[in-house]
Chains A and B, each alone.
Chain A
Amino acid sequence: MSRSRVRGPNSALTEFLRSQGINTSALGRARPPRSESTSQQTDQESIASITEAEETPLSEESPLIETTTVQLQNPPRSRGRSVKKKKKPIEDNNNDDDSEYNTNTGFGRAGFSYKSRENAGKLDFCVHCQCRFTITPYSKYSEKENGWLCYPCSRGVEEQKVPEVHTRKRRAMTRKKAAAATMDEELNVPKLQDLCIRIIAEYIHDIEALGDIGQINMNKISQIISKNRSLDDTTVQLFLTGDQTELKLYDCSKLTVEALLQIVQYCPHLHTLHLTYCGQMKDEVLELYSEKLTELKDFSIKGAFLVSTDTWISFLKKRGPQLTRLEITDTAKVRPPVINTIVDYCPNLTSLTLSRIFYMDDECVRLLSGCKNLKTLRIESPGDVVTDGSILDVLNQIGSGLQTLSLAGCCKLTDELLRQGIGPCCGRLRNLDLTALSELTDDEAASMFGNWNIQSGLENLSLRRCLGLGDRTVRAVLVNSGHSLSSLDLNGLSYVTHNSLQYLATFPLPKLQTLDVSWIRDMNDKLVCEFEENKPTLEKLLVWGNNHVLMPTKRLLLIGREVQ
């Protein structure tokens, strides 16, 4: 349909423009001075574009400005002069939208400038350092020097522009950052490898392949990406290189069934497979694993709640004999038949961890006494009631071989466990975790540690939130294992008094590296100083909830201080 020739009344300006043959339909609000950059282009281009504008009044460019420019400009013109001339017509035409876009700060979407959108891809010379570069939508235009800046120069400008506003909010932010840094233990200059890994994690979606970077760095990248929740079907491809023997993915929540299947298809030679939060894993995935992972030794699956009991059983029957380490957490489908299969079909198992298993009860635990070769046993936070009897059965059978025992979260266990289980049976124990066993009493624990005939002494002991324990236990622990302890956790033991803390400070603990005295009311600055002086190997001291600890330390890493 051709345009109607009937037109209504118009303003004088519109009439004038039309008479000049200028089309204003392409002019939007966001019309930056394209002519400014035109001046930066080679004169050839600028002449060409201007002639274009003359010939095609309906062009998309800002003909308003260019047409007026044509009247003023004669080729070739020096840069400085032409820019000045062009600034005048801009002001004359009251294009005050420009001023909004002159205050670019930052890169990214905030730094996106309409000014440079049209010029993206053009080669230009940086007005600051005279180097040749390509203008991108993120390039900065410098008002002072009237020209485009290359990437390094615009970074310099940006840093100068950000003003140091010392408001309360800013101070709080810097304090928060310092606290976060302390928590993450990033106090010194980070290594170049770690800096690279951080940047890789940021740009993970742009990377096609990781290349030959070694297993340790790959693991670090996997950890950071999982923390950022960037691990999904596309990014997981980076970790599947084919010949690797170890794969640890710390957050598989976004991985679909296809991706989980692909893991095995690409890496059939895995010895070690650790998958955390793999909620999307279904039966078919585990079935494929049982078929393909012929060299699997170390298997850790956390959070695969969809996998059915039968599939667990068939997996364990096929792959059980070669497994040395097995960890299953967070599932309601592991019941006594599965445990039975573990015992029957995994004779070479040296490490077994069953955490947060919904139907874990006495019956299940009792079955475990059949795993004769276990060195590490962890039964943590069982879903059902686990009492002393079954644990004692297990310890009586296999306790003497255990080096690591964790009964964290088995809240119904009582002193009987200590008296008849750990004390008499576990002579080779090195790591003991009794977190949250609140029914244990001080006297009993003290006497157990006192009479315990332990071979080499405990290295890691956690009595976290064993609320009944107090001074006597602490002393007994020190006497028993002080010479070998490297990590001691007394978090939450509010009955511990100043006396035993003093004793702790002066007792020789040659290997102690980490100490947690959080929520012990009697902890104060003086004791912290004594720890710092008397314990040369101590590196980390946790003091959450200790409101009498106020001063910072010189050498120690102090985490949890209220005042930062």
Chain B
Amino acid sequence: MSEEYVKLISSDGFEFILRKDIACISGTIKAILNEGVFAEAQKNECTFPDIRGSLLEKVCEYLHYNHRHKNQQDVPKFDIPPEMVLELLVTAEYLDT
């Protein structure tokens, strides 16, 4: 099974390349990429003009953390610096994650 990779692009031009199955832990990203008609789905790219690079990076970190510790009992703490927590909450709500 070939592993597909997708690219997430932030508002300030940062590009994050990650595996498609991990990216699709986010409901919004999954919806965008799986809808065959959208240009995003065909190019396997998602642009987020409202999300800054630093926030998108934290989201990618969370997606990997989620994938790694799925169905585990004793998951380690996921650290979030307090300065970005409010914006991260809004972003997380938007991305359904």
State the A residues within 8 Å of B (CB): 155, 174, 178, 187-189, 191-193, 195-197, 199-200, 203, 206-207, 210-214, 217
Q: How far, in whole Å, are A174 and B79 apart by their CA atoms in the complex?
A: 20
Central interface residue in A155, A199, A214, by most chain B CB within 10 Å? A199
Instruction: Tell me if B97 and A213 are in contact (CB < 8 A).
Output: no
On whether the beta carbons of A211 and B69 are closer than 8 Å, the reply is no
9 further A-B contacts with Cβ under 8 Å, apart from A192-B92, A199-B85, are A178-B73, A188-B70, A192-B88, A193-B89, A193-B92, A199-B82, A210-B86, A212-B90, A214-B93
At the interface, yes or no: B16 with Cβ under 8 Å from chain A?
no
A187 to B74, CA, bound (A): 9
B78: A residues at CB distance < 8 A: 195
Determine the chain A residues whose CB is within 8 A of the CB of B74 once the complex forms. Answer: 174, 178
Residue of B nearest to A216 (CB): B93
Cα distance, A192 to B79, chains bound together (Å): 11
Closest 6 CB pairs of A and B: A196-B89, A192-B92, A193-B92, A192-B62, A199-B85, A192-B97
Q: How many residues of B contact A (CB 8 A)?
A: 25
Pick from A188, A200, A212: contact of B85, CB below 8 A. Answer: A200
Tell me, rounded to whole Å, the shortest Cβ–Cβ distance linking B74 to chain A: 8
Which chain B residue shows the least CB distance to A208?
B86
Q: B70 and A189: CB pair below 8 A?
A: yes
Query: In the complex, how many angstroms separate the beta carbon of B96 from the nearest chain A beta carbon?
Result: 9
CA of A203 to CA of B85, assembled, Å: 10
Q: How far is the CB of A190 from chain B (nearest CB, A)?
A: 8
What is the minimal beta-carbon distance from A302 to any residue of chain B, in angstroms?
28
B14 close to A (CB within 8 Å) = no
B59 within 8 A of A: yes
Contacts of A189 in B (CB 8 A): 65-66, 69-70, 72, 75
| CB of A112 to closest CB in B, whole Å | 18
Which chain A residue lies CB-closest to B59? Answer: A192
8 contacts across the A-B interface (CB closer than 8 A): A155-B79, A188-B70, A189-B65, A191-B92, A196-B85, A196-B92, A197-B89, A206-B82
Task: Tell me, yes or no, whether B1 is within 8 Å of chain A by CB.
Answer: no
Are A217 and B89 interface neighbours, CB within 8 A?
yes
Question: Which residues of A lie under 8 Å from residue B82 when comparing CB positions?
Answer: 199, 203, 206
Closest to A155 in B: B79
Nearest CB in chain B: distance from A169 CB, A: 18
Minimum C-beta distance from B80 to chain A (A): 6
Q: How many angstroms between the C-alpha atoms of A188 and B25 in the bound complex?
A: 14
Complex Cα distance, B86 from A203, in Å, reads 11
Complex CA–CA separation, A542 to B67 (angstroms): 30
Chain B neighbourhood of A203, CB < 8 A: 82, 85
A171 → chain B closest CB, angstroms: 13
Q: How far is the CA of A212 from the CA of B62 in the complex (A)?
A: 22
Chain B positions 46-87 with a Cβ under 8 Å from a chain A Cβ: 59, 62, 65-66, 69-75, 78-80, 82, 85-87
Select B93's contact among A188, A207, A210, A213, beta carbons within 8 Å: A213
Residues of B within 8 A of A178 (CB): 73-74
A57 to chain B, nearest CB (A): 43
Chain A, Cβ-Cβ closest to B89: A196
A195 touches B86 (CB 8 A): no
Q: Which of B59, B80, B85 has the most CB of A within 10 A?
A: B85
Tell me the chain B residues, 18-34 only, with Cβ under 8 Å from chain A.
none
A211 proximity list for chain B (CB < 8 A): 86-87, 90
Instruction: Given A188-B70, A189-B66, A192-B97, check contact A200 B89 (CB 8 Å).
Output: yes
Q: Are A199 and B70 in contact (CB under 8 A)?
A: no
Nearest CB in chain B: distance from A125 CB, A: 20
The answer to whether B62 touches A213, judged by C-beta atoms less than 8 angstroms apart, is: no
Contacts of B90 in A (CB 8 A): 211-214
